[in-house]
Chain A
Amino acid sequence: MASSPPYTYIQCPCSNEEPAEGSDASSPESDSFHDAERTFDPRAPRSNYSLYPLEYLLYCEECQQIRCPRCVDEEIVTYYCPNCLFEVASSNLRSDGNRCTRNCYQCPICSGPVQVGEVQAEPETNLLSADNATAAPHGPYALFCQYCSWVSSEIGLEFERASGIPSQLAKMKNGGIPRITAKELKERRKEDPDMPPLEDELVDAELQYSALRSFYQSQINGPSNGLPGGLSLGDGHNFSSPAALTRMMSMWQPGGRGAQGKTAGPPDVFPEATDTDKGLKLAQLDESAKVQKLLNGGWNETVSKDQLLGQLEHAHFQDELRPLQCVLRTKRSRRCAVCRHIISKPENKVASTRFKIKLVAKSYIPSISIRPLEPRAPPVPVGMRPQQPQEPPLKPLQPYQYILTFKNPLFEKLKVTLATPNNTPGRFSSKVALLCPQFDIDPVKDMWEDALDGDDRSRTEETGQAEAGKIYKRGRNWVSIILEVIPPLLSVDSLRPHTASGEPTDRSPLREDEKILEIPMFVRMEWEPEAQHDVGDRVGKDRNEGQKRELAYWCVLGVGQISHE
């Protein structure tokens, strides 16, 4: 995405389709008329959300309209791990979560990828003798980050095998302490029914959660345990369970609740967990150990916000962080939010870069490029290319001329009409003039026609001069015209005390984006689709044959920086 001038952003029309404007919405013609009358302000706060570089825009053939990332709906085609590039079936997603269950981990410190490696890389050979590497021993293994030099043995995580890290990691807490799972606890309990409940320190979030879950599960499934009252207190916070839903439904059935009472189903009041086995864990209010650690370790021992965001459990110190399983990525198709047609669909396979459907705006609307007519920056030496020449800032109140080049991506002749406000919107308004606001661009020819026509240079018709009403240059499928601007004086003192409408002028200091000369431009294009050449090769061809199509949109030309003292 280009961010320094020159650039061209295109406004997606979706931001104008406001359902709130009831009076206009009924008649689309008047609406578009209304649009054309109004000047688009690229600095308006809302414009931020509707301006896109051409590459980011799609095109819906059915609606014949530009579609931006905000007015398309996405659907997931494929899930895959960005590290091992394995596709994950969506059924696995339900059981395993949205993380890769292979050996794909990220460093908890720097988010870089980690590799499995042996902790004792090689036996201590005498370094100053020779490289007589003996047979490599096996294990223990650890995760190594090549970027920040983190190693999982720092936090006591070492593995017996190099494969199946997730299952090994699941059984281990930081520090290498074995983690007690709910299953193990159950078995232990079976062997020794009199075993006292675990100490709170040994209960981690996962164990607590499973205890709580089984505790409440047993109540939902079990018969009503006769808590009197039957007050519907519990209903309030159990909407999520399907049982609650059926219960609520039964309330609406005639005579449902009153007549049948509560014969079966879960009780209305759930008792709370009262001991560790049921999932009770008392808050640890004694934080003296943590305070002590903070005193010893200092700032560097604590976790940063970024590090914490990746973690499943809250952590205070670096050594509490756990290696992160890679989060899966997706390939997504996009639908037009209005007509529901798919306008972009990648191939399913992870390795493929191709698309089954791809209707991008740049194959429907002309690309616009800007360059100065008389470049003031010295040309970039060949050896330094492709560096962008840095144009010096524009001097206020001096005319500058730019070449706007429109390139036609269609196989049809394109009729383009442009309009810009004479003065750009905003406190400091530049004077703008398009020397030739109306022109035709020849179509893209396929290779055969092109070859038969011979060298395209012979057909170029060059004015080569900035003349009003004339095209500057014309090529095979492109046209250049001249844009003239006079940048304003960027001084708050030079502003008139009152605007045209009589309101007092905003005299606040110069804002950052006011230094950039941005010109709103309205583009209206017209073409007659030919059936045999239709670009998209998609539906709706016959219907449009012989008909004129048109498309109109606002765009913003970022021309350059305006200098100020």
Chain B
Amino acid sequence: MSTAKRQSTVPAGPKPPVNFSSTVTIPKDAVLQGTHSITIQSETLIHPRARLDSNLGSILVGRRSIVQERAQIGVEPQNIDAAVPGGVSLGDYVVVEVNAVIEAGGTEIGDGSVVQVGSRIGSGAKIGKDCTIAARATVAPGTVLPDQTVVLSNGQQRADKRLADARKLSTLKQINVVRKMIRNDQDKFK
């Protein structure tokens, strides 16, 4: 029942130029494709089947971030007419959860923000620091969110008054545990 034998199904697109820190953990069944550069900074953790696409612009993932399985970063915008050229830039301690979609087009996500399960960030949105995009919430293209904003699934926004550092610490601890469970295969992408 192991799936390890048939990894050839990963589409053989152009291999993007990558720039990894040596402490990045990325398994071989993560999907990196595109033509622009993909930069992943130190101690960041990429889960299997996460998808980073640099076709529309370069992708930067900051330090100590987590990109979970099936998250898609750098997706072609839904509304291609309104899209701006550009890639995606994630700050430090950013967590992109399962099935989250971040559209390309100069999209920025600030340090310590969490993009939860199944949410969608529109092209060119600027998410501040320590924000939370709740599960299945949508951030419209071009939205600018101040620091510590919570966006709920119904579109409602509120200010997060928790201490942001506690969450960063959690993220760090999670990285330190999970990186041992994921077989790192940086070389495949180089």
A/B touching: CB–CB < 8 A: yes
Is A104 close to B, CB under 8 A? no
As a 0/1 sequence over residues 165 to 185 of chain B, the CB contacts with chain A under 8 angstroms (1 = contact) are: 110110011001000000000
Is A148 close to B, CB under 8 A? yes
Q: How far does the alpha carbon of A144 sit from the alpha carbon of B161 in the complex, in Å?
A: 11
CB distance from B93 to the nearest CB of A (A): 8
| Known contacts A110-B152, A131-B176, A300-B157; A149/B162 CB under 8 A | yes
Interface core residue of B162, B165, B169 (most chain A CB under 10 Å): B162
Provide the residues of chain B in CB contact with A150, threshold 8 Å. Answer: 158
Q: Are B150 and A121 in contact (CB under 8 A)?
A: no
Is B25 close to A, CB under 8 A? no
Q: Choose from B132, B168, B172, B176 the contact partner of A149 (Cβ within 8 Å).
A: B132
Is A124 close to B, CB under 8 A? yes
Q: Are B163 and A121 in contact (CB under 8 A)?
A: yes
CB distance from B147 to the nearest CB of A (A): 13
Q: Choose from A124, A144, A147, A300 the contact partner of B162 (Cβ within 8 Å).
A: A144
CB distance from A129 to the nearest CB of B (A): 10
Is A151 close to B, CB under 8 A? yes
CB distance from B178 to the nearest CB of A (A): 13
Number of interface residues of B (CB under 8 A): 17
| Known contacts A154-B161, A300-B157; A148/B134 CB under 8 A | yes
Q: Is the interface of B mostly helix, strand, loop or mixed?
A: mixed
Q: Choose from A120, A125, A149, A153 the contact partner of B150 (Cβ within 8 Å).
A: A149
Is A394 close to B, CB under 8 A? no
Interface core residue of A120, A131, A144 (most chain B CB under 10 Å): A131
Measured CB to CB, the nearest residue on chain A to B131 is A149
Q: Are B152 and A148 in contact (CB under 8 A)?
A: yes
| Known contacts A127-B172, A148-B152; A122/B166 CB under 8 A | yes
Provide the residues of chain B in CB contact with A148, threshold 8 Å. Answer: 134, 150, 152, 158
Provide the residues of chain A in CB contact with B158, threshold 8 Å. Answer: 109, 148-150, 300
Provide the residues of chain B in CB contact with A121, threshold 8 Å. Answer: 163, 166, 169
| Known contacts A148-B150, A148-B152; A153/B161 CB under 8 A | yes
Contact surface of A with B, Cβ cutoff 8 Å: 109-110, 119-122, 124-125, 127, 131, 144, 147-151, 153-154, 300
In the complex, given contacts A109-B158, A148-B152, A149-B160, what are 14 additional A-B residue pairs having Cβ atoms less than 8 angstroms apart? A110-B152, A121-B169, A125-B169, A127-B165, A127-B168, A127-B172, A147-B134, A148-B150, A148-B158, A149-B132, A150-B158, A151-B161, A153-B161, A300-B157
